[in-house]
């Protein structure tokens, strides 16, 4: 048994766990494990309510596979429907108990404590359930503690849902912006998609985090957003640009940065950085700022490679499409000159995955 002091300490630890972890599943796992220890239960489960099917889906249940149960049955269902805590001291002699789950899992439920998880507007988010109090039955004190933990849990679920929605919206806006830039160009959306996918692949090989891989895949397609600021006369010129025209063309990097940069949005910050740096060269001879080596961000160094590879293997108003092998040969020749040699090695190692994207998304 824990003392009140120890119980308070454990509750305070929750705050730290929630703030440190981004993944909802891992927060819920920690919550369930803490709750089990603190109220001396054999097992704790967190169910999330699915309004589409009117079911409760177990997110965390120690040692057993996820289950779906009707939100209108069983003690968890009662807690969800009534939005009140339910304590059951002898499951098999209680009308609220639904033995179907035990039949499936082979578990023998004796006592149950079920607390509803409610959002700020008192809508049901799920149920926090503890099973089989060790050597005893659940008390009102256990119920109070689980209620407290459930308040934390409910806000973690609510925050995660909001975060998902926000990210969804951001992704949509960014994809729309990418299409807008393409509209100006004569190229297909396949081109921007390929640059995103090649970049994600290279980021993964380089060992960037999942979040960074996702970010580059999403934002690399916008590297040429600044081309909407370049006159069609130059953009669509069938032949070679003269020096003055090429100087104008070069401004698309800074224009793209200015267009995309947003202090409050990490995706748009990365998108802006990529737009700014995608024509910098490893040896310092690129534009607009002549950055050299690792002065160019990893995102800029990656997209420098994937953009040129895709430009070479595509038809442009001013050039024919090079073959797959010719383009790889060019990257190899430019290793340490135009491109980061470490990244070129990784890109060439991934030749077959690159070829798969190249074949799948042909113009």
- Contact footprint for ligand C2E (CB under 6 A): 237, 240-241, 249, 279, 307-308, 311-312, 316-319
Name the residue whose CB lies closest to Fe ion.
307
CA angle 75, 78, 84 (to 5 degrees): 110
From the list ligand SIN, Fe ion, ligand C2E, none, pick the one residue 308 interacts with, judged by a Cβ distance below 5 to 8 Å according to partner type: ligand C2E
**Cα→Cα distances 199→173, 192, 252, Å:** 20, 11, 20
217 binds ligand SIN (CB under 6 A): no
**Least separation in angstroms between CB 310 and ligand SIN:** 7
**Least separation in angstroms between CB 226 and Fe ion:** 8
Backbone torsions φ then ψ of 167, nearest 5 degrees: -65, -40
**Least separation in angstroms between CB 157 and ligand SIN:** 30
Nearer to Fe ion, 63 or 232 (CB): 232
**Least separation in angstroms between CB 66 and ligand C2E:** 47
307 binds Fe ion (CB under 5 A): yes
Q: Where are the alpha helices (DSSP H) in 251-289?
A: 252-260, 266-277
What string marks each residue from 218 to 237 as x (binds Fe ion by CB under 5 A) or -?
------x-------------
> Which tokens in the block code for residue 301?
């160094």
204 binds ligand SIN (CB under 6 A): no
- Compute how many residues bind ligand SIN; rule: CB under 6 A: 19
The sign of the torsion formed by the CA atoms of 177, 178, 179, 184 equals positive
Residue 91 DSSP code: G
Nearer to ligand SIN, 45 or 178 (CB): 178
280 binds Fe ion (CB under 5 A): no
- Near Fe ion in 57-116, by CB under 5 A: none
Residue 323 DSSP code: P
**Least separation in angstroms between CB 292 and Fe ion:** 19
Question: Which residues are within 8 A (CB) of 252 and not within 5 positions of it... i.e. 6 or more apart?
Answer: 224, 226, 227, 229, 230
Radius of gyration of the chain (CA): 28
Nearer to ligand C2E, 55 or 224 (CB): 224
Nearer to ligand SIN, 92 or 246 (CB): 246
Are 184 and 227 a contacting pair, CB within 8 Å?
yes
Go through 57-77 and write b for each residue having 16 or more CB atoms within 10 A of its CB, e for each that does not.
bbbbbeeeeebebebebbbbb
**Least separation in angstroms between CB 187 and Fe ion:** 9
Binding site for Fe ion (CB under 5 A): 224, 307
């Amino acid at each position: 048994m824990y003392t009140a002091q120890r119980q308070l300490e454990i509750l305070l630890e929750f705050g730290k766990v929630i703030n440190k972890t981004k993944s909802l599943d891992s927060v819920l796992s920690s919550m369930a494990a803490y709750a089990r220890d603190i109220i001396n239960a054999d097992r704790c489960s967190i169910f999330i309510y699915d309004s589409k099917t009117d079911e409760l889906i177990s997110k965390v249940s120690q040692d057993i596979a996820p289950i779906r149960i009707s939100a209108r049955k069983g003690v968890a269902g009662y807690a969800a429907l009534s939005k009140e805590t339910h304590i059951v001291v002898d499951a098999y002699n209680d009308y609220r108990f639904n033995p179907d789950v035990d039949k499936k899992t082979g578990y023998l439920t004796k006592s149950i404590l079920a607390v509803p998880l409610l959002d700020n507007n008192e809508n049901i988010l799920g149920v926090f359930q503890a099973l089989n109090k060790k050597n005893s039955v659940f008390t009102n004190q256990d119920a109070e503690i689980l209620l407290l933990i459930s308040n934390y849990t409910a806000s973690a679920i609510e925050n995660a849902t909001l975060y998902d929605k926000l990210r969804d919206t951001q992704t949509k806006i960014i994809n729309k912006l990418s299409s807008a830039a393409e509209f100006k160009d004569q190229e297909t959306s396949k081109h921007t998609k390929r640059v995103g996918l090649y970049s994600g692949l290279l980021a993964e090989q380089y060992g960037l985090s999942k979040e960074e891989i996702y970010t580059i895949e999403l934002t690399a397609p916008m590297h040429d957003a600044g081309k909407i600021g370049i006159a069609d006369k130059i953009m669509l010129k069938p032949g070679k640009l003269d020096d003055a025209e090429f100087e104008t063309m070069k401004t698309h990097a800074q224009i793209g940065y200015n267009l995309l940069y947003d202090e409050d949005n990490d995706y748009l910050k990365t998108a802006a950085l990529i737009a700014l740096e995608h024509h910098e060269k490893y040896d310092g001879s690129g534009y607009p700022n002549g950055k050299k080596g690792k002065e160019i961000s990893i995102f800029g160094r990656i997209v420098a490679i994937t953009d040129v590879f895709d430009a070479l293997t595509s038809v442009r108003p001013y050039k024919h499409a090079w073959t797959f092998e010719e383009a790889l040969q060019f990257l190899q020749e430019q290793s340490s000159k135009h491109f980061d040699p470490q990244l070129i090695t990784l890109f060439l190692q991934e030749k077959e995955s690159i070829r798969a994207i190249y074949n799948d998304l042909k113009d």
